[in-house]
Chain A
Amino acid sequence: MRGILLLTQAEINRLRRNRRYLIFTVGMPVVLYLIFSKAGKTVYGINFAAYYMVAMSTFGAFAGALNGNAIRISEERKVGWIRQLRLTPLPASAYVIAKILTSMATTIPSIAVVMLLGRFEGGVHLPLWQWFVIAVVIWLGSTIFAALAVAVGYRYPPDQAQPITLTLYLVFSILGGIWFPFTGLMGNISKGTPTFEAINIATDVIAGKSVPAYLAIGLVAWLIIFAALATLSVRSMAETV
């Protein structure tokens, strides 16, 4: 356990030094929120400023968990760092656990900054427990994409991991209704994505509605699927890292 924390600490130090990831996880959601939050419509039963706050913090968190991790893991596998770590007394699973913990640490600022912006720029007023619930749902939801990042990063070399990650990123952000909510057939497809499910649990909480079970089941199902894919990737690559 101490080893995992040491490695996580080292990973976070690296990120503090290389802040490019902040462009995606904090910069983009903030800029988009400042431009679009004043649309004034009602979406999913709540005002646009509140909906867009949820959408942008989800976007920052999932983009951070997916983009950064997948390509980094792939590169670290290529240079042999994962192999080098396996020669240390650190247990074999520690690398992946540390990556997910690091990812969870880095999604906190993106969620916090966008929510502060929602409160003070968008004028979103919520009871304290609602702030807490929506932040935790989005935060835990981002681990789904951290698991997906492990699956991609372990399986593919960097030159393939890059376009695959970009594709997944676009599919889950567009289909999930982060840029604009869908209706009709696309709306139904959208409901199956983890991004939609995380956003809608949060918007239902804000609207004071009861959260439909399928949203929570969907999120857990995605987590199980991607965690299984990640485990398969790690196992099948065990002799080649």
Chain B
Amino acid sequence: MSHTGTGSVVSFDNVSKQYGSLKAVDGLSLELRSGETVALLGPNGAGKSTSLDMLLALRKPTGGTIAMFGEDPYHAVKTGRVGAMLQSGGLMPEVTVRELVALVAGLHPRPIPVDKTLRAAGVESVAGQRVDRLSGGQTQRVRFALAIAGECDLIVLDEPTTAMDVETRQRFWATMKEEVAQGRTLLFATHYLEEADQAADRILVINRGRLLADGTPEEIKKRAGAKRMAFRLPGVPESFLLGLPNVVSVETRHDRVHIQTTDSDATLYAVLDAGYRPREIEVGSLGLEQAFLAITAEDDRANGSEPAPAH
């Protein structure tokens, strides 16, 4: 049932969504290819959920077109080609977990055996419990079970690991890796940047309803264009450090200097040329989180407004 190769799984072509005067999504174009694991990153209100809602035919775009497997998203959803878990999705009350998973599997053209789904989602121990009496993390896993209750080609997850503890989260990603290994395409929105960094082959950064960056986690970090550097150098004047080439910021804690720079080589050579011999030199890339903040903050500045809170 899996579709490997380079076929287009999801395609947004200049998609917009307007709520009154608010443009939630503003000319978004993107393409997901078969077998990819893609993270959708963006601050709150960036248009992530609206984009996923439109992809899943819950909302209609006000402009542009969306295709899933080359067809209308509604059709793709109704033929069971996509399994989805949304933050806003709820569960039918007064039934047991097993009954609910069995119902949703029964609605699917290619159902997966209920026991297998319960195990994969890690809810077999609560299978006999009523869904309205579960904890937040358990509810989240039942929602995940509903997303994978049938054989599908694309899995869409909106903030999948919210309300999960660390252990459950690790188990969740292990399950996801198996799903992806079977050739499925995975699109997930998250605000855990380390999760995007570890799980995704590709990251889409969106802000204000537009695509800001599209690349591997490494490319995204590189795109932010910054390195961090630290060394031990007692008694060096701060004015000297600030005068170094390519320096973005300087912070001194005791005799340890932390520098953010756009060119770590040039900055380090200038320190050496001035006759200093720093010790314990460390040079590293910015984490994805700093890169993400740098990219969205730059966009917010370009639009003349306060940066949105990072999420």
Residues of A whose CB lies within 8 Å of any CB of B are 3, 6-7, 10, 13-14, 17-18, 75-76, 78-81, 83-84, 86-91, 239
Instruction: Return the contact of A13 from the options B89, B91, B99, B109 (Cβ within 8 A).
Output: B99
Of B74-82, B119-127, B164-172, the one contacting chain A is B74-82
A92 CB to nearest B CB, Å: 8
Question: How far does the alpha carbon of A58 sit from the alpha carbon of B169 in the complex, in Å?
Answer: 53
Contact in complex: B91, A84 (CB < 8 Å): yes
Contact in complex: A87, B103 (CB < 8 Å): no
Contact in complex: B106, A6 (CB < 8 Å): yes
Question: How far does the alpha carbon of A36 sit from the alpha carbon of B59 in the complex, in Å?
Answer: 53
Contact in complex: A91, B94 (CB < 8 Å): no
B309 located at the interface, meaning its Cβ lies under 8 Å from any Cβ of chain A in the complex: no
Instruction: Return the contact of A14 from the options B60, B88, B94, B109 (Cβ within 8 A).
Output: B94
Question: How far does the alpha carbon of A81 sit from the alpha carbon of B99 in the complex, in Å?
Answer: 15
Which of the four size classes fits the interface of chain B? 20 to 34
Contact with A along B123-152 (1 / 0, CB 8 A): 000000000000000000001001100100
- Nearest CB to that of B81 among chain A residues? A89
- Nearest CB to that of A88 among chain B residues? B107
B293 located at the interface, meaning its Cβ lies under 8 Å from any Cβ of chain A in the complex: no
Contact in complex: A13, B90 (CB < 8 Å): no
CB-defined A-B contacts under 8 Å, sample of 28: A3-B106, A6-B103, A7-B107, A10-B103, A13-B99, A14-B93, A14-B94, A18-B94, A76-B90, A76-B93, A79-B93, A80-B89, A81-B92, A83-B88, A84-B89, A84-B92, A86-B56, A86-B58, A87-B84, A87-B89, A88-B107, A88-B108, A89-B78, A89-B80, A89-B109, A91-B78, A239-B58, A239-B60
Among A7, A10, A84, A86, max chain B CB count under 10 A is at A84
Where chain B touches its partner, the secondary structure class is loop
A98 CB to nearest B CB, Å: 11
Contact residues in B for A3 (Cβ distance below 8 Å): 106-107
- Nearest CB to that of B57 among chain A residues? A86
Question: How far does the alpha carbon of A78 sit from the alpha carbon of B59 in the complex, in Å?
Answer: 17
Contact in complex: B95, A83 (CB < 8 Å): no
B308 located at the interface, meaning its Cβ lies under 8 Å from any Cβ of chain A in the complex: no
Q: Which residues of B (83-116) have their CB < 8 Å from a CB of A? A: 84, 86, 88-95, 99, 103-104, 106-109
Contact in complex: A80, B90 (CB < 8 Å): yes
A157 CB to nearest B CB, Å: 14
Instruction: Return the contact of B90 from the options A84, A89, A91, A239 (Cβ within 8 A).
Output: A84
Contact in complex: B92, A10 (CB < 8 Å): yes
Question: How far does the alpha carbon of A106 sit from the alpha carbon of B3 in the complex, in Å?
Answer: 45
Provided the pairs A81-B90, A87-B86 are in contact, do residues A13 and B107 lie with their beta carbons within 8 angstroms? no
Contact residues in B for A90 (Cβ distance below 8 Å): 78, 107
Residues of B whose CB lies within 8 Å of any CB of A are 56-60, 77-80, 82, 84, 86, 88-95, 99, 103-104, 106-109, 143, 146-147, 150
Question: How far does the alpha carbon of A86 sit from the alpha carbon of B89 in the complex, in Å?
Answer: 10
Question: How far does the alpha carbon of A91 sit from the alpha carbon of B79 in the complex, in Å?
Answer: 10
Question: How far does the alpha carbon of A87 sit from the alpha carbon of B82 in the complex, in Å?
Answer: 8
Contact residues in B for A87 (Cβ distance below 8 Å): 56, 58, 77, 82, 84, 86, 89, 147
Question: How far does the alpha carbon of A76 sit from the alpha carbon of B95 in the complex, in Å?
Answer: 13
Instruction: Return the contact of A7 from the options B57, B84, B94, B103 (Cβ within 8 A).
Output: B103
Contact in complex: B146, A84 (CB < 8 Å): yes
Contact in complex: B95, A14 (CB < 8 Å): yes
Query: Given A3-B106, A10-B92, 15 more contacts at CB 8 Å?
Result: A6-B106, A10-B99, A14-B92, A14-B95, A78-B90, A80-B86, A80-B88, A84-B91, A87-B56, A87-B147, A88-B104, A88-B108, A89-B78, A89-B108, A89-B150
B238 CB to nearest A CB, Å: 54
Question: How far does the alpha carbon of A102 sit from the alpha carbon of B256 in the complex, in Å?
Answer: 72
A16 CB to nearest B CB, Å: 10
Contact residues in A for B57 (Cβ distance below 8 Å): 86
Contact in complex: A13, B58 (CB < 8 Å): no
Contact residues in A for B60 (Cβ distance below 8 Å): 239
- Nearest CB to that of B110 among chain A residues? A89
Contact in complex: A79, B95 (CB < 8 Å): no
Contact in complex: B77, A89 (CB < 8 Å): yes
